[in-house]
Chains A and B, each alone.
Chain A
Amino acid sequence: MFRSTRREFLTTASFALAGSVGRARRLWAAPRPLTPAMARLPASALHETTLTPEMLRTFATHAIDAARSAGAQYADVRVAEQVQLRLNADGGMIVNFRLTPQFMYGIRVLVDGAWAFVHGVTPSADRIVTAAHNAVATARVSSRVSPDRIELMSTPVVTGTWETPVRLDPFSVPLGDQAALLTACLEAAGQVRNGTLDATFEWKRETRVFASSEGSLVTQILRTSQSELTPGASIYGLSAITLPSLLTGMSGGYECVTRSTLQDETKRAAEEAAWYMSLPRRSLDVGRYPVVFDGATVGGSLNRTIGRALELDRVLGDDVGAGGVSYLAPPSEMLGSAIASPLLTVTANRNMPNVGAVKWDDEGVQPREFPLITQGQLANYITSRTTASELAALSGAHAGAPAPSTGCAIAQDADDAVLARVSHVAVAPSAKPASLEDLCHGITRGLLIRRGGYIAVDQKFASGVMLFAGAILEIENGKIVRRIQGNALQFTTSRLWRHSLAALGDATTVWTSATQYWKGQPETLGWASATAPAALFKDVDVIAKRI
């Protein structure tokens, strides 16, 4: 429940964020000016690390030893210490500031073919050993009613340390400098009449240790920026237009927010939003129209539909009582079949600088870049060690069957259940020149969606309704002429990606966006990011937002 400190939505939809600042105000400090003394303080001066990586490793090995001695055939553990810093500023003042140090662990054991998972927050060897014993006892009880065995796909034993490469540690940057940068961006947007900017810096540093009973023991120091800079335009203080965030969730340090063009980009985007804001409004007649998605919308929509439908635990029915199943089942029939337009080639990875970049996933597997969709044909699923073994058995007849775990086992926090999750997908842009304007060029009447991708789907991800977008614009004879209110898009997933996708934009239209989504039961949030070009879809159903 009270986990907003590490459970907040940081998505591409700022209509939510704007409110979250207000709602969460009491969680943060009250507004206060930045004095010279305070301005010189870096966040690291305010946080003292009390648990060393060696201590975390000791906890981890205690847990594994305890689980094995209690009878677990397999056990793994994630132990982490993390600190998050979030701040907003205005006029050189920090208006919200929150520092959240936390410790957590999660132990997973396999006994006689049954899993159990126990998590906790107490950095004590005794408690962690007790938790491991409890997990084994629980799994033993479960095994009595779970006749089928679970096979884990084999993976090499790994040891070592890895740290997210950063050029500048944000926790070492004086708060005054951070407030000044945020303020400069706010002022850039403020130069534009009706311009707005949702601006937040958020940093996370986590030391996470993974250990398994197979002998793996790795330590990763993961650093991410979950900062956001969402330009828009509004009148009467109500946000009406928002464009894709100029910053997005990514791995790295303070360099994630310091590109020299940021203020110019902010101003230009605010100008663009203000121009959209000035356009006349209307509702479009219900019908089928050509629709152009910007890169953020393509990425968000792909992750929300196909991406999640390719999570193999869902495909195999593990989630049938919760988040649902998948229209891309069974794997034996779907692998190698056309699920999208030949224009669409999608790869998945956990590389830098994506927000989910790691050297080892939460099962100790080294992720690799792999094709998900190759020229429209399904090439692979999002897998973990547990699900990959089932996939290997199911898809044995398929020529060139996918290799074992793709390294997508993710526990967003160390005390979350390990699930197969989309981390980052990359859509190959068109090799031929195709700007956003080019994609709109041939449209007699249609729509341009900016910052869309918030989609309500069904239990199979087979259909959906795009509920909101930062801006829905009407295209007439290739030009933006109005903004649209009162309409939404409705689609079947396979038709949208297989039949409606008519053209992709080139590299100039590519945008990286990140969002969080729920999975599991109880639900846990996890990041999913995408790099995608703009795209033209023909014959998309435009519906009215009315009964």
Chain B
Amino acid sequence: MSLPRESEMERPVMTREQLLSLGQRLLAMSSADIDIVNITVSHTANIITRLAHNRVLTSDDGERLTIQIETMVGGPPVYTVITNQWDDRVLAAGLRQCEALLRASPSYKPDSGMKHEEYVQDAVAPVQLWHDTTIGAMQTTRETVIPAILDIVRQQKLHAAGFVGLMARSEAVIRKDGSILLYHDETDSELTVTAVSQDGKNIGWGGQAARDWSQIKPAEVTQHAMTMATLGGTPVAVEPGKRTAILTPAAVAQLLRYFAGQWHALNTNQGQTALSKSRMGGNKLRQRIMDQRFTMSSDPTDPAGGYRPYVIWEGVASPAMTWVEHGVLTNLAFNMPWYAMERGTRYAALPNSFRLSGGTTSIEEMIAQCPDGILVNRFSDVDLLDEHTCLLTGVTQGGCFLVRDGKVSKAIKNLRFMTSPFFFLNNVEALGVTERAAFGYTPLTQPEYMTSDGFYEWPRQPVIVPPMMVRDFNFSAVADAV
């Protein structure tokens, strides 16, 4: 049996009705004495094109499906089947298997003590993250956008590499009465271009990401990458040290992607994050943790930075949260239902997606204001050195420049850095206009995996941040000559 499609060209993932139908079909297969708690279905379709060497390297199109069935005999779920197989025989076999196991299990006392209905404690906010323009672009980017990018870069006698990704997803949690408990659909897209000079010594990167593909400007992205690849001549090595750094939104996003783990309430209260009061525990709630110009929040209904309004496997609503207000820590994420109950507070998902407030200074104005500093277009390979301080290391990539007397002076060789967001966000000289940052190639690291809330693969959840100029940014070494 094939996955149902309303219209393959128009909607590459299942509709709400089709998801509901699947759930009801599963329920009909189950034995009368076995309750189905949740059927969670997630259906994702990607249309992806990779570029390298001024040509299409390959495409990567397809769908992924996850069906999770939770069963019980009274009380909370005790057995789970996860499969990607839609076929009646497979689903029926899965149900029979977990039913057999259930019948072999004695009654037990679940660890959480919560019934499923208690998990959904907030009304799920309505979100609109589906854009037909993104679906339409799945059919057209290869004919229009990609040839244009390659043409422009070739004309500049550069080599183009890049990534054009379009995604659609629908998912639902279906409860035992056969109705849909939670439903969500979304689209997302990302375009990145890497321009490489003929001698391979200069590499420029540009990228944009948006739920709505029509908001992405391929010509802008391509031009930015080419500028980064040609500005300032052949890169020269400069001495590392604490310097003023001008960071683009893409660079800032790479540094703040470890925030989700930092806001983990249990870890924080156990002394394991930079927001812990000490290594013995406690927290820094109501203390200033960053420059007072910053407010940081997460809101699933944010048109640009919105996200699934619940945590799918938990079936718990993700309320809008303000994490930092005028530099003061206002909330931690009680992302474990039992811990939220124990502490008498409401559940909140980790801030994998968030918006950090900005200012009005353009990057050009920051450069003009900077007597001596380094412009960083992007960081790569950023990893967590110390969770207690959120100390990070990584390297500049895709454009790094010396700024002298208000102008870009020259391209410089990549630098390794070692810093903590809680350090440089207290050393802010200027802030620009916030935008959703493109991540490009940014695989999950182990610390991120622990806090990813089910987001394991491309695309990453939206992060909206401003460009900024910060002082005393710690560039610790030349990257390829430590």
User: Footprint of B on A, CB under 8 Å?
Assistant: 1-5, 7, 9, 11, 13, 15-16, 19-20, 22-23, 26-33, 35, 37-38, 41, 45-48, 50, 97-104, 106, 114-124, 126-127, 131, 134-135, 138-139, 141-142, 144-148, 238, 317-324, 327, 415, 417, 454, 456-460, 462-463, 465, 467, 488, 490-492, 518, 521-523, 541, 543, 545-547
Contact = CB atoms under 8 A, between A and B. Distances in A.
B82 A48 contact: no
B449 A50 contact: no
B37 to A, nearest CB: 11
A490 B477 contact: yes
Nearest to B423: A547
B63 A120 contact: yes
Nearest to B397: A459
B32 interface: no
B59 interface: yes
A463 B147 contact: no
B242 to A, nearest CB: 8
A452 to B, nearest CB: 14
30 contacts: A1-B455, A1-B456, A2-B456, A9-B446, A26-B313, A30-B78, A32-B105, A50-B93, A97-B79, A98-B80, A101-B85, A116-B58, A118-B62, A119-B60, A122-B3, A142-B49, A145-B147, A146-B55, A238-B272, A318-B53, A327-B480, A415-B62, A458-B380, A458-B381, A458-B480, A492-B482, A522-B457, A543-B476, A547-B391, A547-B418
Given A147-B55, A463-B416, A48 B449 contact: no
Nearest to B458: A522
Contacts of B395: 458-459
A492 B481 contact: yes
B446 A13 contact: yes
A449 B431 CA distance: 42
Given A121-B84, A463-B477, 19 more contacts: A27-B68, A28-B80, A31-B108, A31-B110, A37-B104, A38-B104, A48-B97, A114-B56, A119-B63, A123-B85, A142-B55, A145-B56, A317-B161, A321-B163, A322-B50, A458-B480, A459-B414, A465-B385, A545-B386
A2 B66 contact: yes
A144 B106 CA distance: 64
A135 B79 CA distance: 38
Q: Can you list the 6 inter-chain pairs with the closest CB atoms, starting with the nearest?
A: A321-B161, A518-B443, A119-B62, A146-B55, A321-B194, A142-B56
Given A35-B104, A123-B87, A462-B480, A547 B65 contact: no
Contact of A518 (B77, B146, B203, B444): B444
User: For this complex, into which size category does the number of interface residues on chain B fall?
Assistant: 35 or more
Contacts of A467: 383-385, 393
Given A7-B456, A458-B395, A458-B416, A102 B383 contact: no
B263 to A, nearest CB: 15
A546 B86 CA distance: 51
A104 B64 CA distance: 9
B216 to A, nearest CB: 16
Contact of B420 (A41, A319, A547): A547
Nearest to A237: B270
A393 to B, nearest CB: 14
A4 B456 contact: yes
Given A1-B455, A3-B456, A11-B446, A456 B62 contact: no
B83 A100 contact: yes
B81 interface: yes
B63 A121 contact: yes
Contacts of B200: 317
Contacts of A457: 381
B477 A124 contact: no
A444 B395 CA distance: 34
A132 to B, nearest CB: 12
Contacts of A29: 77-80
Nearest to B441: A322
Contact of B313 (A27, A147, A456, A465): A27
A463 B479 contact: yes
B83 A46 contact: no
A138 B59 contact: yes
Nearest to B50: A521
Interface in B275-306: none
A50 B56 contact: no
A324 B380 CA distance: 9
Contacts, number: 305
B123 interface: no
B109 to A, nearest CB: 9
Given A4-B456, A26-B313, A30-B78, A121 B414 contact: no
Contacts of B479: 458-459, 462-463
Contact of A2 (B76, B312, B420, B458): B312
Contacts of A139: 59
B482 A321 contact: no
A41 B270 CA distance: 40
Contact of A148 (B49, B55, B111, B162): B55
Contact of B82 (A5, A116, A123, A521): A5
Interface in B406-422: 414, 416, 418-420
B60 A117 contact: yes
B402 interface: no
Given A50-B89, A142-B142, A458-B480, A322 B163 contact: yes
B449 A541 contact: no
Interface stretch (B40-48, B129-137, B341-349, B363-371): B40-48
A126 to B, nearest CB: 6
A23 B105 CA distance: 24
Nearest to B422: A547
A465 B479 CA distance: 10
Given A99-B97, A141-B143, A115 B57 contact: yes
Contact of B394 (A33, A106, A124, A456): A456
B447 interface: yes
A460 B53 contact: no
B90 interface: yes
A490 B108 CA distance: 51
A144 B147 contact: yes
B60 A522 contact: yes
A309 to B, nearest CB: 12
Nearest to A45: B100
Contacts of B89: 50
Given A103-B84, A522-B165, A546-B391, A460 B480 contact: yes
